[in-house]
Structure 1
């Protein structure tokens, strides 16, 4: 049961209740002055400042603390941020009654109550924040109905009919990802920060030629072909070669020959679903089923998340079927080695590959489109230190940098992917991209920690 009690109860470490108001001033927006709030402590365990960091608070962590109310009766406020001023009459005439009014004692932030398992109950509260080194900060969920606060999206996820087949898209304003192939990712970079995948799939713009429509839209910056592209999964289960990776779209189903993207009736099947769509994060779910490597049968789901303002995406993987004939079969995840790779960083659970690149459309056999030479295009893959992964380089299928992860008891593992290019608004050099990946890898290994929650009431 995920139902939340209205009466707050102590529930787990650092959880408490309060019958009287805390010392911190109370948030006011226009004529809305709430009388109850839930105080949530966020902890930065790192000695460095965090910028625009994801915060995930689960339903279980607020069990017995947060009253069961409609979403419009929750307002997440950071008291350390300056409040917005009162909008002008002209602005209100455009935006209407839902426009936010003047704020005091904090600022409403973009947040989401996301239902991940689609049972009608939210599973995670999500927002993004900055934290100082070793800071413990209290943010609040103010309680009480109010219907103000437009939330402009900084991320997007959708499934579109793109060049005659269904393709999942997820993006931030800097980078977008899509599955032209069902398990290996295409990457597109933007020159101007914007959400533009809806134009790609609605207008069926060519990923490599979008710059010819509008230079700000950017370009596809990954030639996937038979590689793992900007990120792909596999299985290390070949008893004859422990470092050989099996992959869902290349299976020995047809007379012993490997066939790419065979019919779904007899070969690997895929299904796509939008889990949530902004404003701060957007999630696509990919199900891979009926996967027979010749050494085992598998089924799994992946949830890829795009984050507003960022150049990385994270993935949660869960195997629902793991029937392997190979003792010690291990999970795999990889990225393509950049063609003409000139820059490589591999340390622990991180690998970064970058190179100057002539970006071209491999399907443009008549060469109607000109190649785009860029100073660098880069890809990165991060697995958590706790996974105890092993780095493997595979020279097969364009060359791929991989990590081999020991099988987990619950069939789950996670990874992070990142991308950058010299034409983007940020991370214009491969060194800046590698530094960014190092920072995000450190934060990924030590996420913002939930430090407890309490229900508070304003003194009368």
Structure 2
């Protein structure tokens, strides 16, 4: 999608010329689709080290192509207080090359939001939820021990123009699914009542959509665990527990912008048994895709573990579908009436790296990690693994009722994810 930049002013005719004077002409970014695939909303990340910026006052990027301004944002991915990444999305024909003009301005442009993160916390059962961007939770701060749920929607939620998700930060660390009926961002008060108290009001259909997935003691859609040949090790606990097996859980909203939102989690001293691990997780979403990207790294590994990425199967008896014809990724999917009460058609999938994929297994039907298909991935100490979690709901697109349509979407998306964009900076 393209959006035209406008200047914020009470008098547009006066402000527009001044805005033009304040624009600093910059570099040309030559982008080339090296594949034979049509690309829609292809994410583009440009390292700050490749760019030059002469005027320190001109701090907002204008990414211009064919006289239109593409929505973009600056991300601080290493959390040092300075941006290090220019991010935007763009469409490409096969083998197409585009010359993007990068200009700078001191007027902050306003773009339609196509991604968002929501996170809120209350300090007691009697105080309203307040929005916040970070959290540290200790092992004894679970709902069972506090006597109340402290987080809006049980933890952070994130979305794009296609689909939404939430993470159970309350010790369960599963990933849940919000089905969306519109492309707009859902209201900020989802999960709150009129007094600002935590309330489960998102299992009721609203104009924007609702929570549609039963998670139980699974890890949900894209949640993960460690497994060995003899043991399933859940990251965290269940809703019935009062003490976490993770000593300290840290969360931060790294970025929230019109075309990219990033969430970060750190789990210090995770002790599922006599072993101790630490985990880092980065969740990323951008527009146009019915899913999100997750990146996980673990330290403390003994060498006999696999990373197990989950696909909840509470409401389906169908076997897991698998496609491995892509050179970079393997697709694992289910398609069934597998929403709450089996009311709607829902396709869910994991897209995992082929060079890490070691097959799949299934969690037990009962226990603290259950009801999940699990993709087994080869993992090494402190080596990040990235994968994608995808969901196609029939009320988002009625064609998702057809399994073949969902499969074709997954294959097309995987080809797009596999495609590489060559980036050349010209002064």
Which TM-score applies when normalising by structure 2?
A: 0.78
Q: What does residue 78 of structure 1 align with?
A: 65
What is the aligned partner in structure 2 of residue 183 from structure 1?
173
CA distance in 1, matches of 2:310, 2:340: 21
Distance 1:68 1:222 in 2: 49
Tell me, what secondary structure is at the counterpart of 1:444?
Answer: helix
Q: Distance in 2 between matches of 1:356 and 1:172?
A: 23
Note if contact 2:226-2:308 (Cα within 8 Å) is conserved in structure 1: yes
CA distance in 2, matches of 1:317, 1:224: 21
* In 1, Cα distance between equivalents of 2:96 and 2:421: 11
User: What SS does structure 2 have at the residue aligned with 1:198?
Assistant: coil
| Contact 1:317–1:412, Cα closer than 8 Å, also in 2 | yes
Change over 3 Å in CA distance of 1:402–1:357 after alignment to 2: closer
- 1:183-332 matched pairs, under 5 angstroms: 183-196=173-186, 198-203=188-193, 204=198, 206=200, 208-211=202-205, 214=206, 216-238=207-229, 241=230, 244-250=231-237, 261-264=241-244, 267-294=246-273, 296-319=275-298, 321-324=299-302, 327-332=303-308
Alpha-carbon distance between aligned partners in 2 of 1:195 and 1:205, rounded to the nearest angstrom? 20
In the alignment, structure 1 residue 128 sits paired with structure 2 residue 117: no
| Aligned residues between the structures | 368
Is the 1:282–1:307 Cα contact (8 Å) retained in structure 2?
Answer: yes
Instruction: Check 1:28–1:418 CA distance in 2 against 1; reply closer, same or farther (3 A cut).
Output: closer
Once residues 58 and 241 of structure 2 are traced to their aligned partners in structure 1, the CA distance between those partners, rounded to angstroms, is 42
- Superposed CA deviations along residues 346-385 of structure 1, whole A, max 9, x for unmatched, are 123211112114625xxxxxxxxxxx722x1121111123
- Secondary structure of the 1:165 match is coil
Change beyond 3 A, Cα 1:342–1:316: same
User: What is the distance in 1 between the residues matched to 2:87 and 2:371?
Assistant: 37
Aligned partner (choices 366, 373, 398) of residue 343 of structure 2 = 373
Alignment partner of 1:55 out of 39, 44, 64: 44
Counterpart for residue 98 of structure 1: none
Who is 2:340 aligned against? 359
Q: Is the CA contact 2:301–2:380 (under 8 Å) kept in the aligned structure 1?
A: no
Shift of 1:434: 2.4
Determine if the alignment matches structure 1 residue 391 to structure 2 residue 359.
yes
**1:316-347 deviation line (CA, Å, top 9, x unaligned):** 2233x3242xx332322121125124474212
Q: List alignment gaps of at least 5 residues for structure 1.
A: 1-26, 80-105, 251-257, 361-371, 456-460
Deviation at 1:50, TM superposition (A): 0.6
CA displacement 1:31-55 (0-9 Å, x = unmatched): 3165632111222122111111111
Q: Distance in 1 between matches of 2:159 and 2:292?
A: 8
Answer yes or no: is the 8 Å Cα contact 2:191–2:200 preserved in 1.
no
Partner of 1:441, secondary structure, is helix
Structure 1 pair 175–35 and aligned structure 2 pair: CA distance change class (3 A): closer
The higher radius of gyration belongs to 1
164, 179, 182: which one pairs with 2:149? 164
Q: Which residue of 1 aligns with 2:327?
A: none
Q: Tell me, yes or no, if the aligned pair for 2:116 and 2:261 is still in contact at 8 Å.
A: yes
User: Partner of 1:420 in structure 2?
Assistant: 392
Query: Residues 259 and 287 of structure 2 are in contact (CA less than 8 Å); yes or no, is this contact kept in structure 1?
Result: yes
Residues 280 and 202 of structure 1, relative CA distance in 2, 3 Å threshold: farther
Per-residue deviation at 1:169?
0.9
The equivalent of 1:441 in structure 2 is 414
Q: Quickly say closer, same or farther: Cα 1:338–1:427, change in 2 above 3 A.
A: farther
Distance of aligned partners of 1:435 and 1:68 in 2 relative to their CA distance in 1, 3 Å threshold: farther
CA 289–260 in structure 1, closer or farther in 2 if over 3 Å, else same: farther
**1:197 CA drift (Å):** 5.3
1:176 touches 1:197 (CA, 8 Å); kept in 2? no
**1:234 aligned counterpart, secondary structure:** strand
CA distance in 1, matches of 2:91, 2:108: 24
TM-score (norm 1): 0.72
Structure 2 distance, partners of 1:141, 1:280, is 17
Cα separation, 2, equivalents of 1:223 and 1:136: 44
Cα pair 2:6 2:110 within 8 Å, conserved: no
Check if 1:401 corresponds to 2:389.
Answer: no
Any idea what the Cα deviations from partners look like across 1:168-227, whole Å, max 9, x if unmatched? Answer: 11111321111135421110101222211522134445355331xx3x222212111111
Distance apart, 1:426 and its partner CA? 6.1
**RMSD between aligned alpha carbons?**
2.8
Cα separation, partners in 2 of 1:28 and 1:233, compared to 1, 3 Å: closer
Unaligned 5+ segments in structure 2 are 8-15, 122-128, 130-147, 325-329
Name the SS for the 2:191 alignment partner: helix
Is the partner of 2:270 in helix, strand or coil?
strand
